């Protein structure tokens, strides 16, 4: 099984333009055919929010990157080798602090379709928490590439 890697700068969390670079590089790599037997993706729903996660293995990683219609794309990696990780806790909180989506053992890629608004995304892996505020009021797509520098 091939291992995909993300671009990082000095082992810090990458968001915004750098996230677009990582997505562009991976999209370039994933232009070939996908073996459907290696893909086990399924759209799910929680509190009216559609989401999907996966990306284990080459074919599934390429397949999930090609899916459209989601306005928040998150990718999780760790360590110096920037390896994808599938064991991340995710909590997305709405404008008044209530959780609209909670996932355990999610990743390495998570796609969500959230209503327009401002959200706090809290991700945790091995006791290390990362928080981001995202604004989806303009109808655009946001990409969060979240990296933990620890190797655990």
Q: In this structure, what CATH number is given to the domain that contains residue 95?
A: 2.60.40.10
> What pLDDT, on a 0 to 100 scale, did the predictor assign at position 29?
64
Q: Is residue 96 part of a domain?
A: yes
Q: State how far the Cα of 70 lies from the Cα of 129, in Å rounded to an integer.
A: 24
Q: Count the residues in the chain.
A: 152
User: Is residue 113 over pLDDT 90?
Assistant: yes
Q: Is residue 1 part of a domain?
A: no
Q: Is residue 3 part of a domain?
A: no
Q: Where are the alpha helices (DSSP H) in the chain?
A: 17-29, 58-65
Mean per-residue pLDDT, 114-143: 94
pTM of the model: 0.78
Which residue from 56, 26, 30 is spatially nearest to 41, judged by alpha carbons?
A: 56
- 123 sits in the region (left: phi over 0; alpha: psi -120 to 50; else beta) called beta
Q: State the DSSP code for 124.
A: E
The total of structural domains in the chain comes to 1
Q: Is residue 8 part of a domain?
A: no
User: Is residue 63 over pLDDT 70?
Assistant: yes
């Amino acid at each position: 099984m091939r291992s995909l890697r993300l671009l990082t700068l000095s082992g810090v969390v990458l968001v915004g333009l750098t996230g677009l670079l990582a997505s562009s590089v991976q999209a370039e790599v994933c232009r070939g055919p996908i073996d459907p037997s290696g893909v086990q993706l399924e759209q799910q729903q929680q509190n009216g929010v559609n989401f999907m996660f996966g990306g284990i293995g080459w074919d599934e990683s390429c397949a999930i990157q090609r899916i459209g219609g989601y306005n928040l794309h998150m990718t999780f990696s760790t360590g110096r080798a920037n390896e994808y990780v599938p064991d991340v806790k995710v909590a997305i909180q709405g404008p008044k602090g209530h959780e609209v989506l909670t996932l355990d053992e999610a990743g390495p890629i998570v796609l969500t379709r959230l209503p327009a608004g401002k959200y706090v995304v809290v991700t945790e892996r091995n006791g290390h928490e990362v928080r981001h505020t995202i604004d989806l009021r303009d109808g655009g797509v946001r990409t969060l590439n979240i990296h933990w520098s620890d190797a655990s």
